[in-house]
Copies of this chain bind each other. A is one copy, B any other.
């Protein structure tokens, strides 16, 4: 469980390319899969900044589940939520182009940040490119196109959303001129 900081869960290709699966902040648990399924971890993880992580040994964790009414159900709900998230990620990777994925990410950020029109990137653009399955160069170019189309304004880590409807449409299907 992340106590403080931010960790990424990711896969690496043979050539060293990285695909981020999740980014977790304080309060989130991760790494349960091998507890219930008994094999190795399905992915790697790494702190993105100075972090404090709590570790609960497998046996204690299983004890806790059997002894705590409702905990099992909460875990089922948590794993289900992650399945849903993966579903969205597969949809994005397979069925959407990079501009749509980037637009979707900005919109997700805005929702996470109280629906603010001015959002702060919580990660570097390089990490962002690994999250949405592209390269830093492409992120750079598409942010520029979004700016040229007056959808957003970018100032280092801050993105100001100027055309929410435009971004929503772009995230669903659209493409940039």
Beyond A76-B79, A87-B42, whether A133 also contacts B94 by CB under 8 A is yes
Establish whether residues B84 and A33, one from each chain, have CB atoms under 8 Å apart when the complex forms. yes
We find that the number of chain A residues with CB closer than 8 angstroms to chain B is: 43
Q: Which of A8-60 contact B (CB under 8 A)?
A: 11-15, 17, 19, 21, 32-39, 42-43
CA distance A83 to B34 in the complex (A): 11
Q: Is A77 an interface residue (CB 8 A)?
A: yes
Known: A17-B95, A19-B95, A93-B94. A11 touches B87 (CB 8 A): yes
Cα(A76)–Cα(B75), bound, Å: 8
The reply to whether B84 and A83 form a contact with Cβ atoms under 8 Å apart is no
Q: Are A79 and B89 in contact, CB atoms less than 8 angstroms apart?
A: no
- Residues of A84-103 whose CB lies within 8 A of B: 84, 86-91, 93-96
The yes or no answer to A165 lying at the interface (CB within 8 A) is no
Given contacts A79-B83, A80-B36, A83-B82, are A91 and B14 in contact (CB under 8 A)? no
* A residues at B contact (CB < 8 Å): 11-15, 17, 19, 21, 32-39, 42-43, 65, 72-73, 75-77, 79-84, 86-91, 93-96, 133, 172-173
